[in-house]
Amino acid sequence: MKTALLLIDLQNDFCPGGALAVTDGDATVIAANQAIAACVARGEPVVACQDWHPANHRSFAVNSGEKVNTLGELEGLPQVWWPAHCVQESPGAQLHPQLHQQAIAAVFQKGQNPDIDSYSAFFDNGHRAQTALDGWLRAQGVTHLAIMGLATDYCVKFSVLDALELGYETIVITDGCRGVDLQPGDSQKAFQTMEQAGARLVTLSQFIAH
Ligand code: VGL
Ligand code: ZN
């Protein structure tokens, strides 16, 4: 077995002050640095994904003529209309400046196709196209994934579900995640969904001690 740490969307726009700020989102960066240190000590690779949208992305409420944070449909898929966020090359799209990026072996961008959203680090929401992440992990012989980051109820959840479907033994570092919670309880439900799909939920201290 070989474990890798997968960090989800630890970007300025999902942290306080950002365009799609998640409450307490920057707490995940502190947690990520601790998880990274444990992985470096154990010789386990660390990878990250990065939400990376063109300015004309149709998930942005302003581009679809919809109200922010309401629910609609895009390409036949349910779609939350988001504030414009993580626009390619913008400061908001950068990984958080406090994140220990030297230890990250590879960053996989997602969400470049303006016509479909892409929550998972592996596939777009329609499972039509995939990123290079799965190929990279397989080439390294990775069989187990530890996943944490932003946001619990969107990109973390869909990355975990795809990881399980792709056959990775998957744990979620729960206190290394924070959620959008458009509806109260969305993040709690997301953790339940991930667990029911086969993920193991662990705390950061359990991950560090393993
Ligand atoms: C995310 C909404 C839109 C996330 C990305 O990282 O969870 N959420 N784009
Ligand atoms: Zn996005």
pLDDT in tens, the chain (210 residues): 999 999 999 999 999 999 999 999 999 999 999 999 999 999 999 999 999 999 999 999 999 999 999 999 999 999 999 999 999 999 999 999 999 999 999 999 999 999 999 999 999 999 999 999 999 999 999 999 999 999 999 999 999 999 999 999 999 999 999 999 999 999 999 999 999 999 999 999 999 998
3-state secondary structure of 203: coil
Write out the two tokens for 6.
């997968």
Q: How far is the CA of 120 from the centre of ligand 1 (A)?
A: 9
| pLDDT value, residue 210 | 83
d(Cα 154, Cα 110) in Å, to the nearest integer? Answer: 13
First to last CA, the chain: 14
Ligand 1: which of 148, 150, 153, 194 to mutate, judged by most atoms within 8 Å of the beta carbon?
A: 150
| pLDDT value, residue 70 | 98
| pLDDT value, residue 16 | 98
Active-site residue list: 9, 110, 155
Q: How far is the CA of 29 from the centre of ligand 1 (A)?
A: 16
Q: How far is the CA of 42 from the centre of ligand 2 (A)?
A: 32
ipTM score assigned to the predicted complex: 0.99
> Nearest bound ligand to CA 52?
2
| pLDDT value, residue 64 | 95
Using the 8-state DSSP alphabet, how is residue 182 labeled? S
d(Cα 178, Cα 150) in Å, to the nearest integer? Answer: 6
